[in-house]
Structures are given as structure tokens and as C-alpha cells.
Amino acid sequence: MTRTVVAEAYGGPEVLALQDIELPALSEGQVFVDVRAAGANPIDYKLYGGEMGRDPASLPMPIGMEVAGVVAEITPGAAGYTGGLTVGDEVIVTNISGGYSDRVVAAAADVGHKPESLTFEQAAGLLLVGGTAWHLLTNTAVGTGDTVLIHGASGGVGLMAVQLAVARGAKVIATASPARHAQLRGYGAEPVAYGAGLADRIRAIGPVDAALDLVGTDEALDTSVELVADRARIATIAGFAKAPELGIAVLTGADGGQAIRDASRVELVKLAAAGKLDVTVDRVFPLTEAAETHRYLQTGHARGKVVLVP
């Protein structure tokens, strides 16, 4: 038996419950991983909140898509995205269902070795936000010599996007509240406060070649369209309603981008191992407080990754 968090109905965090379940025996190419930390992400509460549909057959719905932990059992010849796996390996796992658990079953192909330099809590927050940021930068072709505007730069995806854009040789203009500016400067970005006059403050820094919207506000989308000449170089992961009207790409991973996100895992692990990619963990909650974890995420005040531990 293993404890796992599920949504027993569609609704708010109050529908989450911790249940004891029996995991099935491993099939060929699968791995059992004992969870040390599970990354919490907005997509987790959006799914049981009904934003992606309300299929009763999906209930009870296991929650959590990424974890870090230790390989507990493997099938013969199991290999992950960083090579062969053995029992006892410290690993990072993505593309799973039910990550808020004591133990998970995963396809070996979605299991990779955790860099020694990362704690389990940091590792559990690396790949989903990192892959999303990689997808955004790839889609907008951000590279050396570009200036990229990143809205919502102090969140989990934003902090990754800033670091990855700088690593690509781009100049980064990052919108965030003033309290987050020192951290963003430390990553090489030029921060600006959002609010009235945003476009003028950005113009004072210089022309913008591309923009990434991570918040979905009218301000972020309208400012991006005003400042970036080529709308193909603007992308959002949050402005689902307005972006299509403006001709802006909405990136969800279900648009063919999942392959880009999966392919980025090896590079993200290498960058983190080399000390070139920092994972900021904002808060750590016990598994028993999954509902409170999501209430905190929904405030939008997280300064980095939010993680649960069994």
C-alpha cells in the first residue's frame, strides 16, 4: 500500500484527499520510485478544477506530475533518459500520474539520474517548469543578441526562463514586483515593475525582439503585442482566452510541444549539475497538506517552486 493524494470530485482544494492504494505489479519497462519530494504546479489544480474538462470517469483523480526520489524496484534492462537504472539510484521523474505519493510507478524512459548538487526538493521542481521554459524559448527562437521580455519572471517557470534565456546569450527584461527584483538581477535580468506605464519603462531599456507571457493578464498580452513586431515571437502559457484573438501562440505541451519538453530533460539536468541552472524552492509542505499547498499556489505569491514531501 502507498499513500496518494487524489481529487475525489471536481472543485477547489477541498476535494483533495489522502488515500491508501495498492500499486499494480511492474510491467516491462517500468520502475518503482520511492518519493522524497513532489513538485506542485498550477496544472495540478487546474485539472481537478475542471478547466480541462469534467469527465466523471477520471475520478478519483491522482494528482502530481513530477517527483524526485530513489529507485526501489526495476524491470530487467530498464533505462532512463540519462542511461541505465539500478535500485538505489537517486532520480527525477516526469510524465507521471499521482506524484503526490509515497511511491510511484513510472515508465523507465521518464526517469533520469538526479544531479548530486540538487536536493530532492530542488530536483522535484526542475523539469516541468524547466521544460515549459525551454518550450517557450524554442517556440520564440530566442538566442544570442535577442532581447526577450518575460512577464511573471519571478514564478517557477519565469525564473527558469530567465536563466535559460541568459544562457542562450539573450538580454532579459523581466516584469515582477519590486520585492523580486534583486533575485532577478542576480540571474542577469533587468527587472521592471508591472503596472501603469509598463510599456514606456520597457522602451526606456531598449527594443524587444520576443516576449513570453507567464501570467495571462491583459497588461502582459497587450504590452507584448505593442512592443514586439513579429507576433510569431510572442508566446503564452496562461492567456488562453485573449491570445488567439491577438494571434499569439498558446503553448500547453499538447500542441506538439511535449516532444520539445521531453527532449530538454537531459540538457536541463546537465545545466543543473554544472551549477548553471538554479532551482529556487519557495516553500515545502507535508503530503498531508496538499489542499493548503494548492491554496498557497493559487495566491500567485510563490517565489519559485512549491514542493510536497511524504
In a domain, 266, yes or no: no
Averaged pLDDT for residues 101-129:
97
Averaged pLDDT for residues 218-230:
97
How many domains does the chain fold into? 2
In a domain, 142, yes or no: yes
Q: Are residues 122 and 132 in the same domain?
A: no
Q: Are residues 14 and 100 in the same domain?
A: yes
Q: SS in 3 state form for the chain?
A: CEEEEEECCCCCHHHEEEEEECCCCCCCCEEEEEEEEEEECHHHHHHHCCCCCCCHHHCCEECCCCEEEEEEEECCCCEECCEECCCCCEEEECCCCCCCECEEEEEHHHEEECCCCCCHHHHCCCHHHHHHHHHHHHHCCCCCCCEEEEECCCCHHHHHHHHHHHHCCCEEEEECCHHHHHHHHHCCCEEECCCCCHHHHHHHHCCCCEEEECCCCHHHHHHHHHHCCCHHHEEECCCCCCHHHHCCEECCCCCCCHHHHHHHHHHHHHHHHCCCCCCCEEEEEEHHHHHHHHHHHHCCCCCCEEEEEC
Query: What per-residue confidence (pLDDT) applies to 59?
Result: 97
Q: How confident is the model at residue 253 (pLDDT cuts 50, 70, 90)?
A: confident
Query: What per-residue confidence (pLDDT) applies to 203?
Result: 97
Residue 251 has which C-alpha cell?
Answer: 503553448
Q: Are residues 10 and 113 in the same domain?
A: yes
Structure pTM? 0.95
Q: Are residues 133 and 103 in the same domain?
A: no
Residue 293 has which C-alpha cell?
Answer: 499547498
In a domain, 174, yes or no: yes
Averaged pLDDT for residues 97-122:
97
State how far the Cα of 83 lies from the Cα of 242, in Å rounded to an integer: 42
Q: Are residues 144 and 195 in the same domain?
A: yes
In a domain, 272, yes or no: no
Q: Are residues 122 and 149 in the same domain?
A: no
Q: What is the mean pLDDT of the chain?
A: 96
Maximum distance among all Cα pairs of the chain, rounded to whole angstroms: 60
> Does residue 86 carry a pLDDT above 90?
yes
**In degrees, to the nearest 5, what angle opens at C-alpha 254 toward C-alphas 146 and 142?**
5
Q: Are residues 165 and 211 in the same domain?
A: yes
In a domain, 258, yes or no: no
> What is the percent of the chain with per-residue pLDDT over 90, rounded to a whole number?
94
Q: Are residues 50 and 94 in the same domain?
A: yes
**Exposure string over 98-115, b if 16+ CB within 10 A, otherwise e:** bbbbbbbbbebebbbbbb
In a domain, 298, yes or no: yes
Q: Are residues 82 and 71 in the same domain?
A: yes
Averaged pLDDT for residues 215-231:
97
Q: Are residues 107 and 134 in the same domain?
A: no
Residue 267 has which C-alpha cell?
Answer: 540538457
Domain that holds residue 225: 128-250
CATH number of the domain residue 157 falls in? 3.90.180.10
Query: What per-residue confidence (pLDDT) applies to 300?
Result: 84
Averaged pLDDT for residues 212-223:
96
Radius of gyration of the chain from Cα atoms?
A: 19
In a domain, 78, yes or no: yes
In a domain, 263, yes or no: no
Q: Are residues 238 and 285 in the same domain?
A: no
Query: What per-residue confidence (pLDDT) applies to 224?
Result: 98
Q: How confident is the model at residue 52 (pLDDT cuts 50, 70, 90)?
A: confident
